[in-house]
Amino acid sequence: MAIGGFVDAPAAAAGADYGGRVTSFVVLSCIVAGSGGILFGYDLGISGGVTSMESFLRKFFPDVYHQMKGDKDVSNYCRFDSELLTVFTSSLYVAGLVATLFASSVTRRFGRRTSILIGGTVFVLGSVFGGAAVNVYMLLLNRILLGIGLGFTNQSIPLYLSEMAPPQYRGAINNGFELCISIGILIANLINYGVEKIAGGWGWRLSLSLAAVPAAFLTVGAIFLPETPSFIIQRGGGGGDIDEARLLLQRLRGTTRVQKELDDLVSAASEASRTTATRRPFRNILRSKYRPQLVIALLVPFFNQVTGINVINFYAPVMFRTIGLKESASLMSAVVTRVCATAANVVAMVVVDRFGRRKLLLVGGVQMILSQVMVGAVLAAKFKDHGGMDKEYAYLVLVIMCVFVAGFAWSWGPLTYLVPTEICPLEIRSAGQSIVIAVIFFVTFLIGQTFLAMLCHLKFGTFFLFGGWVCVMTLFVYFFLPETKQLPMEQMEQVWRTHWFWKRIADADADAGEEEEQGQRRPRPRGEAAGTIALSAT
């Protein structure tokens, strides 16, 4: 028997009624904003690469260096197990977690562009400390400043992209952020591979300091970015400049026929202004009417991290060195996995608005489950506590890892940033995105802080553990995540009313709302009718 939650969103093609096209103006704006993903990706790639470089370890983490070289009698799985090394890797995410909560208020009150500017500027400053580091304390300051920058950019950029994009192409445009993350990791891996060969062992300084280049591009570019139409209307308690928003929409869509989309934006802003949610978004997102959005904003980023993807992002070179590859080969292996991921990101951009979010998440989930189980099985059979692994099996692990990162890159990678921005109404959208980024940073911190210890104690069982989590999250998608493709964000409430599970909450909230509004009838704001789609279409 079919369950309502397993069908496409109601009136999925409603966004096409807005008219217009993807203009060069919206493409250029989204390219500049989306380039902020390169910052996140570059840091992920650089931190994993420099921690496998002998010159870097010898200077800042000598104990790890001696373990890696075999000077100490330790298990192969424990050669990089160091609390100080994991603090270096994961301290960024504590700073990012705190910063993204502050970023929510800045994004809501002063705009998406302001948060992007702040994030890019702080990231540039952090890069300076990384390249000039002479001790561990300067390295940690570098990580903290980078974390603050990423807290602001990761909170505001996916939101910016979703609000600027036409509904029928929102998935592809928002997925550009994940593509930029993948490109950033790829650039970092290539730089790591190149600078490792520099005589004198100072190449890691170049790796860390070059993070300022994409950050400077984002910061300068953000000065010229327009604000989103949603924010222009929302500012001032929903009384923003309607004419300014109309002119911007006309430039973005390449047509003067934008009244229907403008009406929906005005209706959403008017609805938000009638509640206290806009002023107290974190308190109000806890209300029962926002329960579906809160659950998804918490669980989707949590599941994103427990796939084990950051094991690859952080420690790919370290892991490949662990199983017996040399320094250059391990760095090049990280490049190979990232090329596969980048290609998969492009595939996701092409198909996400055609096949929908759920199908990609389910297919990617199955692909990742099989990959994690296979890696665990190969390590269990061929990699022991002492001695090396045959080179052919080391490269087999590399091939399986490529399959894994490809599965992540066309499913959970980009859609973790897309789906929560789609399903949150305007009054809690900024808070919802902050929760997503905060959860990502928190769980990333936990994994970054514990993975090397887990690998040391659980050994190959670590990959079976991640595979088990991927099973859980795939079941969650199958039963509880509705399809949202091509539905305008201002009309997203309908997905809850037709879902087999969430409709109970939506119906209860609708009944409560009718009782509250009895005797308080007032004229409907202009455009409110345009924000409603007949449910009979499903």
Q: How far is CA 515 from CA 101, 161, 347, 508, in A?
A: 34, 37, 48, 11
Q: What's the pLDDT at 386? A: 65
At a CB cut-off of 8 Å and minimum separation 6, what does 252 contact?
20, 23, 25, 26, 29, 164, 166, 229
Q: What's the pLDDT at 17? A: 66
Mean pLDDT in residue range 281-289: 84
* Cβ-contact 411, 49 below 8 angstroms: no
Structure-block tokens of residue 140: 């940690």
Can you give the pTM of this predicted structure? 0.78
Q: Which residue has the higher pLDDT, 99 or 329?
A: 99
Burial class (CB in 10 A: 0-12, 13-18, 19+), 522: exposed
Q: How many CA atoms lie within 13 A of 445 on its CB side?
A: 18
Q: What's the pLDDT at 404? A: 93
Q: How many CA atoms lie within 13 A of 145 on its CB side?
A: 21
DSSP 222-275: HHTPPPPHHHHHHTTTT---HHHHHHHHHHHHTSS--HHHHHHHHHHHHHHHTS
Could you report the per-residue pLDDT of 167-206, keeping only the tens digit for each?
A: 888 889 998 998 999 899 889 888 988 887 786 778 889 9
Structure-block tokens of residue 279: 């002023």
Radius of gyration of the chain, Cα coordinates, nearest whole angstrom:
24
- Burial of 466-491, coded b for 16+ CB within 10 Å and e otherwise, reads bbebbeebbebbeebbbbbbbbbbbb
At a CB cut-off of 8 Å and minimum separation 6, what does 10 contact?
487, 494, 495, 497, 498, 533, 535, 537, 538
Highest mean pLDDT pick, 132-146, 233-247, 486-500, 502-516: 132-146
pLDDT level of residue 158 (50, 70, 90 thresholds): very high
Locus of tokens 């994004």: 107
Cα dihedral 312, 133, 33, 419 sign: positive
- Over 50: is that where the pLDDT of 3 sits? no
- Burial of 238-250, coded b for 16+ CB within 10 Å and e otherwise, reads bebebeebbebbb
Locus of tokens 């997203």: 492
Domain spans, the chain = 25-227+288-498
Structure-block tokens of residue 135: 């001790």
* Cβ-contact 263, 275 below 8 angstroms: no
For residue 472, which phi and psi values (nearest 5 degrees)?
-60, -45
Q: What's the pLDDT at 73? A: 64
What is the DSSP secondary structure assignment for residue 493, as one 8-state letter?
T
Could you report the per-residue pLDDT of 218-272, keeping only the tens digit for each?
A: 999 999 999 999 999 887 555 568 899 999 999 999 998 889 989 888 888 887 7
* Cβ-contact 51, 321 below 8 angstroms: no
Q: Give first-to-last CA distance, the chain, whole Å.
A: 17
- To which CATH superfamily is domain 25-227+288-498 assigned? MFS general substrate transporter like domains (1.20.1250.20)
Q: Report the helix count and the strand count for the chain, using DSSP H and E.
A: 24, 0
Mean pLDDT in residue range 345-360: 92
